[in-house]
Amino acid sequence: MPIICVGNLSAGGTGKTPMIEYLVSFLKKNHQIAVLSRGYRRKSKGFVLAHPGSDAEELGDEPFQIYSKFPGISIAVDADRQEGIQFLAEKVRPDIILLDDAFQHRKVTAGFNILLTTYDLPYVSDWYLPTGNLRDGIGQAKRANLIIVTKCPSNLTPDERKGMQDRLKPKVHQKVLFSSLSYGLPTSPTRETKSLDFFKGKTFTLVTGIADPAPLIDHLSLAGLTFDHARFKDHHYFSEQELQTLNSKPMVLTTEKDYMRLKGKVEGLFYIPVEHHFLDNDGEVLEREVRDFMKRDF
């Protein structure tokens, strides 16, 4: 069975979930897909297959986000990736399994590895935890088929692309692709969307519980918005007191991932979706590489 792994060498903030969603979007048309994640900070144990009654506490916020957006595919969580793959192969029998954040799992050998790193802090310029953000050796990058540099400036020049490629020193078998973040319109729980201009001159609080909120802050600031920022740790579960405080705010704007833990609990809530926007024709390159992989004899 074909298995594609999306991961990184750092402790987070490279855009793994939007990359999984990108892959799901173009693969689901012709394939039965299963996504397997650890389900970080979920309150359940063992293997769990998403179902209509699932929530962020059972699956974890990121798997629940994917399940909410793509109800027609199979989403599962299991800290033991080998066991999770076996369960999916027996219970679901998908055409392909996408492994979310499994680059460090040496016991699982994916047929195709996609390694993400950010433009501002590529793994070659980082250092190991706790001094830096690396959780794996830089040399492990050699296992990647594709290296995708995320969170790039949208106006990245050819010289800047070449400069990053020179820094990463890809192996002969590796391609280096580039993407930037693309933010959607603020969206309410009823799927009503508002332009950013709607928030101009209004009092609102930005709530983030993600590894790197800086790009979103820049996006809102460049749009001329002023706001309070309530920053929490990645995957933070909000206490009753924190929810009471947020409910005292006139409006709350948050990330799509945080929304999975806040919806139904906070009034006046909007979230901003985010996705990868590939530079030049790099999206076509990614899709072609994945399709070629899917044509192999498994």
Q: Which residues contact 165 (CB under 8 A, 6 or more apart)?
A: 176
As a whole number, mean pLDDT of residues 275-282 equals 96
pTM over 0.85: yes
- Structure-token pair, residue 287: 């899709």
Total number of residues shown for the chain: 298
DSSP strand pairing (228-231 vs 274-278): unpaired
CA 297 to chain centre: 29
- Structure-token pair, residue 188: 């309410």
Summarised one tens digit per residue, pLDDT across range 2-42 is 999 999 999 888 999 999 999 999 999 999 999 999 999 99
Mean pLDDT score of the chain: 95
**Is 4 strand, coil or helix?**
strand
Question: Which residue is it, tokens 């280096």?
Answer: 176
Summarised one tens digit per residue, pLDDT across range 44-63 is 999 999 999 999 999 999 99
Range 234-265 burial, b when 16+ CB lie within 10 A, else e = bbbebeeebeeebeebebbbbbbbbbbbbbee
Band of residue 245 on the pLDDT scale cut at 50, 70, 90: very high
Which domains can be identified in the chain, with CATH numbers? 3-182+276-294 (3.40.50.300), 185-272 (3.40.50)
Residue 12 pLDDT: 84
CA 159 to chain centre: 28
Residue 127 pLDDT: 94
Beta strands in the chain (DSSP E): 3-8, 33-37, 48-49, 74-77, 96-100, 112-118, 146-150, 175-183, 205-208, 228-231, 252-255, 269-272, 274-278
Summarised one tens digit per residue, pLDDT across range 199-219 is 999 999 999 999 999 999 999
- pLDDT above 80 (res 106): no
